[in-house]
Structure 1
Amino acid sequence: MMRTASIKLDASPEQRAALAALQSAFANACQRLSAVVREHRVWNRVALHQRAYSEMRSSTPLGSQMCCNAIFSVCKAYKALKVTGRIPKDTPVPAISFQRASVHFDKRTYALKKNAVSLYSLGGRVIVPMRLGEHQRRILSFGRPKEAELAFRKGNWYFNLVVESDDKESIASGPVMGVDVGENNLAAHSLGGIFGGGRLCDRRDHHLALRRRLQSNGSRSAKQKLRQVSGKERRHVTHVNHETSKAIVREALEAGVSKITMEDLTHIRDRIKAGKRMRGRLHRWAFRQLQRFVEYKAKSAGIAVEYVDPAYTSQTCSSCKQLGRRTKHRFACPHCGLRAHSDLSASRNLARIGGTAVPPRAAVSTPNVGGADVGNHVCASQ
């Protein structure tokens, strides 16, 4: 499993100047390579190396290995465009700006030295102290350092180090937990937990309205305010998703869960047919991030993760497996009389699909427990 430790560097003024010079030279080299990619329509690493390496060595101050790293960064950027369909066949290759590109480091261009890191620079190696917190130390202690990116953000240098660690030994046996993700409710799991998302939706709507007002204003002070609030919504959503995923995995461990089953929502945004306002809300829905957080936290705890087809999971009764009626957050089964929270019912169906026997609900004289599900199982309102 790969984890990334974002480490703040305590660089001296001289070291800051050396790192800035390296970033400038690296960005310039990437821009040169981008022109070669567009001219010859080549983003294969070996082919681009054969075509551009010699010219880079003679026209840039970068060393041999850093030239190879620049080729790697440019190829990775254009391959990402290709995978997402942004380089159509028989059309000009789009230009990518690398003016503020991070500097890619591999094992030949950096070395860890206790609480410092030795980095390649244009004037030789510089040893920069690292500011390590408990989170970064924990990641470094359980893994093998791999590649890294040197980035400059808000006046500080950060060394984003990728660490590879072995997955914890999988839990041999145990129940399967189903996790249903949503927008109004961030997640619901089959053990009975529901994580509300109303507060997060309000926060996102507030940021959207603020951005609209500032963008329509267009003044210098409005643009300055836009820069100040840039990324604030994204950071808050990431924080809430981290807290939610931690709670889900913690409850899975307490219950001895061996596998978590989630919905495969690939290309779901392509199928959205709602109005403009609703499309805007759903396109800002960070469901994949939450699933990814649950996945890597679960695997690090030895819990397997599986994605399944979500078709009809929210419309199928988790008790008798017949189609029922869903009205917002209430699910009603006309066959067995089950009343439940729709997201909770969907998570139990996901758990069943994942290979577990969901604890049965009585099919005869089933009480209306829709309100009880909501009241008794709400873990948090994020």
Structure 2
Amino acid sequence: MKLVMQVKLLPTSVQAAALEATLRACNEAATWASSVAFEKDVKKNFGLREHTYAEIKARWGLGAQAAQHVIKKTCDAYAALKANLRAGNLGKSDSRRYQRVSQKPIAFQAEGAQPFDDRMLSWQIPERRISIWTVAGRMKDVAFTAAPEQLATLALYRKGESDLVCRDGMWFLSATCEVPEAPLNAEPVDFLGIDLGVVNIATTSDGEIMAGRGLNRIRVRERKLRAKLQKKNTPSAKRRLKKRRRKEARRAKDINHKIAKHVVAEAERTGRGIALEDLTGIRERVRLRKPQRATHSSWAFAQLGQFIAYKARRAGVPVVYVDPAYTSRTCAECGHIDKANRVSQAWFACRNCGLVAHADRNSSRNICARAWELWRRGVRSATPALSPKQRGKAGCKRGATASDARCASSSHQ
């Protein structure tokens, strides 16, 4: 399976200036190549190369490999745009947004990511140094930092291109690694049901509740502070907004990683599979009051599901997705379904057998039971169907295949 390892570069001021100049030159060349591709309607790699390769090398001083990657990046961008248009992600064909993006060439940001292959980039992992091509010449001894686990993965499994990224003045390299998967556990003893929510992000069928009200209070406080700074709109407020931007997304990603790691480790330790809800299109299906919308939409349920899926694949733990309908209204003991069973957000009380339990724990037990029933009936791949929007995004990934776009199960890849 493919994993992306991101390491942080620690360049000197001279090295950073060279890296910045390289990104700018590559993206300016890509923007020019994009205009040629749009004007001549040539958006395939070899065809576009005939019209742009020599000019890119002469005009921007790029090497042969860098020029090749610029052309390939341009073609990939048009392939991604075509997939998004076909999937309906940019509106209908007569909408203003659709017309705006389809009737002009693609432009690349000055600090957009640029791919580097092994001819342009070499790694000295034990020394935590890289040697990288730039428009100012080969830059050697560029330091980087990474966790010991990342270094071990890079040393053993790094394969293919690495992307140079500049974000908020910091430099990163995203390296692709081909990591082997563990043999799948084809005979799980049971399933660990996971109920995903807003108040409690994840609740297991064992009764463990992960990340709840405390985290939501932080998110509300951050949202209020962001609105206050946006309203103030002074230079100092803008500086604070820039400093805090993406902070909530980073926190959510970190917590999702920790939850996914814990869930997969517990399932692997006990010889169980993992049962998740198929929440595809949940934002379109659920109607909420205005005060609830920001809270409901700000947490990345799909990201958490993806993290659990790929970590489970790596550990050989099967994952089954189940229909979430009525899991919060069904009694896990007697199976009685009634809207009145859910007496509050936190508590479940069955009107038939009298069971009283934590509502999310009851839901996770129902999810577990449904997954086990699917498994007993021979369903070995029960991944959720992708929406048109998700299919468009999956098709936009460089080198993505149909199996890359699906989540973990016992049969793919």
Q: TM-score range by the shorter chain?
A: 0.7 to 0.9
Gap runs ≥5 in structure 2: 376-413
- Where does residue 286 of structure 2 map in the other structure? 272
- 1:236 has 2:251 as partner: yes
- DSSP 3-state at the match of 1:8: strand
Residues 260 and 304 of structure 2 are in contact (CA less than 8 Å); yes or no, is this contact kept in structure 1? yes
Deviations 1:22-59 (A, max 9, x none): 11111111222343455466655555445544543443
Deviations 1:126-152 (A, max 9, x none): 333333431321322442322211122
Q: 1:326 aligns with which of 326, 339, 342?
A: 342
Closer, same or farther in 2 for the Cα pair 1:97/1:123, shift >3 Å? Answer: closer
- Where does residue 237 of structure 2 map in the other structure? 222
Closer, same or farther in 2 for the Cα pair 1:309/1:109, shift >3 Å? Answer: farther
* 2:131 counterpart letter in structure 1: S
- Separation in 1, partners of 2:143, 2:279: 43
Counterparts in 2 of 1:135-154, with a 5 A limit?
Answer: 135-154=149-168
- Separation in 1, partners of 2:317, 2:203: 18
* 1:62 counterpart letter in structure 2: L
Counterparts in 2 of 1:54-203, with a 5 A limit?
Answer: 54-81=54-81, 82-83=83-84, 85-86=89-90, 88-89=92-93, 91-92=99-100, 93=102, 95-114=106-125, 115=127, 116-127=129-140, 128-174=142-188, 175-203=190-218
- Separation in 2, partners of 1:347, 1:5: 32
Gap runs ≥5 in structure 1: 359-382
- Where does residue 376 of structure 1 map in the other structure? none
- Where does residue 35 of structure 1 map in the other structure? 35
- DSSP 3-state at the match of 1:120: strand
State the identity as a percent. 33
- DSSP 3-state at the match of 2:111: coil
- DSSP 3-state at the match of 2:134: coil
- DSSP 3-state at the match of 2:288: coil
TM-score, L = length of structure 2: 0.78
Closer, same or farther in 2 for the Cα pair 1:238/1:173, shift >3 Å? Answer: same
- Where does residue 362 of structure 1 map in the other structure? none
Deviation, structure 1 residue 332: 2.5
TM-score, L = length of structure 1: 0.84
Q: 2:227 aligns with which of 186, 198, 212?
A: 212
- Separation in 1, partners of 2:286, 2:41: 34
Range with bigger deviation, 275-284 or 148-157 = 148-157
- Separation in 1, partners of 2:61, 2:39: 23
Closer, same or farther in 2 for the Cα pair 1:89/1:41, shift >3 Å? Answer: farther
